[in-house]
């Protein structure tokens, strides 16, 4: 009943989900100040983070991205999603095929002979693989490079975005402080004029 969960290991499911949310957060953070589609109430914005990232799974997003940084993040993430979904589909199809073959009693002896020939032979293709690698399940170890590239590109885009927004934040803080200081000076001058005339 739960065979659709078996192609990915638990760690792979968790890591993929975390990257879906992280990618949605990065795209939202980059786009929210320049794109009206990424604005709204706090609940709408949280919903946008989840909606946008998970809609990339089936290429169903409708929001237009305005920033080149967010486009870069999404291109890398779409490649990762393509690799993960293709691998998931191939592994699930393989598992379902093996399950059907095992159900056939006529093929059971042939399958057992093939299994002994392939898996008990010392010179199989699996002898040089890492012991953590399981050919029947996709695990995090197999995709660590893909997640590394995705994480580094998203983090780099986020840092560039924050760096570019830094002058605007500093200037707006400076204007606020300058206006506050000018207002304070005006108030002091008015008070001193009033006290001087009385």
Contact by Cβ (8 Å): 66, 75: no
Over residues 99-114, the mean pLDDT reads 70
Q: pLDDT at residue 122 above 80?
A: no
User: Which whole-number Å values give the CA distances from 116 to 111, 112, 136, in the listed order?
Assistant: 9, 6, 17
> In the prediction, which pLDDT does 114 show?
73
Radius of gyration in angstroms for the set of CA atoms belonging to the chain, rounded to a whole number: 28
CA atoms of 121 and 134, how far apart (whole Å): 17
Write out the H or E segment, with its range, that includes residue 180.
Answer: helix 144-197
3-state secondary structure of 135: coil
What are the tokens at 116? Answer: 């002994």
19 pLDDT tier (thresholds 50, 70, 90):
very high
Q: pLDDT at residue 184 above 50?
A: yes
> In the prediction, which pLDDT does 128 show?
42
What are the tokens at 153? Answer: 């590109």
Question: Which residues touch 166 (CB under 8 Å, ≥6 apart)?
Answer: none
pLDDT: which is higher, 136 or 99: 99
3-state secondary structure of 52: helix
Over residues 124-147, the mean pLDDT reads 62
Over residues 94-103, the mean pLDDT reads 78
Q: pLDDT at residue 146 above 50?
A: yes
């Amino acid at each position: 009943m739960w065979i659709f969960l078996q192609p990915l290991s638990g760690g792979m499911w968790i890591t993929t989900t975390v990257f879906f949310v992280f990618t949605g957060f990065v795209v939202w953070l980059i786009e929210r100040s320049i794109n009206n589609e990424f604005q709204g109430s706090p609940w709408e914005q949280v919903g946008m983070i989840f909606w946008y990232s998970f809609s990339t799974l089936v290429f169903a997003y409708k929001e237009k991205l305005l920033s080149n940084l967010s486009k870069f993040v999404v291109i890398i993430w779409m490649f990762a999603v393509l690799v993960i979904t293709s691998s998931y589909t191939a592994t699930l199809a393989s598992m379902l095929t093996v399950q059907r073959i095992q159900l056939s009693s006529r093929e059971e002896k042939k399958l057992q002979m093939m299994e002994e020939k392939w898996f008990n032979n010392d010179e199989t293709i699996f002898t040089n693989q890492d012991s953590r690698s399981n050919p029947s399940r996709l695990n995090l170890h197999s995709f660590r490079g893909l997640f590394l590239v995705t994480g580094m590109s998203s983090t780099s885009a986020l840092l560039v975005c924050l760096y570019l927004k830094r002058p605007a934040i500093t200037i707006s803080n400076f204007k606020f402080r300058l206006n506050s200081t000018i207002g304070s000076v005006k108030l002091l001058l008015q008070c001193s004029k009033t006290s001087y005339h009385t």
